[in-house]
Each structure stands twice: as structure tokens, then as C-alpha cells.
Amino acid sequence: MDKKATVLSILNDLTGEDFTNNLDEDLFDSGLLDSMDTVQLLLQLQAQLGMAVPVSEFDRSQWNTPAKIIKQAEDAA
């Protein structure tokens, strides 16, 4: 599975939403992710993609849409 598909799968598991056609949805403003979900997101990204993003370095404005999360995952390669 590629990084985009993995991120979309993780987000689907966390929110119950399919973002395949809505990559610019603001996950925080829409209430789909909260602080606990963010921790789960980061843990899943680390487990499935090997990305290590400390919560202390997490900037919500850089992670608030599926497109931005996918970009972070792809840039981490």
C-alpha cells in the first residue's frame, strides 16, 4: 500500500470518513479529529509508515487536512 492509501486508511479508521475525494477537509475545524485522535494518528503513522513525529513538535496547521498529512508522509521518505 502506498503512503497516500495508508494515510487515508488511518484517517478512515479514526474518523469513519472516506477522504479520497475530499483531501482538503479541515479535520480539526470539522470536529473529525481532536487531541486524542491526533495522538492516535501519530502512533499509527509511526507504526505503519515508520514516521516519528513527537507530539511536542506537532503543528496543527501543518496537519489539518488529509492532503497535508499525505504530504508530510511523502516528505518523510
Q: How confident is the model at residue 55 (pLDDT cuts 50, 70, 90)?
A: confident
| Residue found by looking up cell 489539518 in the block | 64
Give how many domains the chain has, as a whole number. Answer: 1
CB atoms near residue 30 (< 10 Å): 12
| Full-model pTM | 0.92
Residues 6+ apart with CB under 8 A from 61: none
pLDDT tens-digit series, residues 27-51: 999 999 998 999 999 999 999 999 9
Secondary structure (3-state) at 24: coil
pLDDT at 77 over 70: no
Q: Which three cell numbers stand for residue 29?
A: 475545524
Domain CATH number, residue 56: 1.10.1200.10
% of the chain with per-residue pLDDT over 70? 99
Domain range holding 27? 3-75
Secondary structure (3-state) at 14: helix
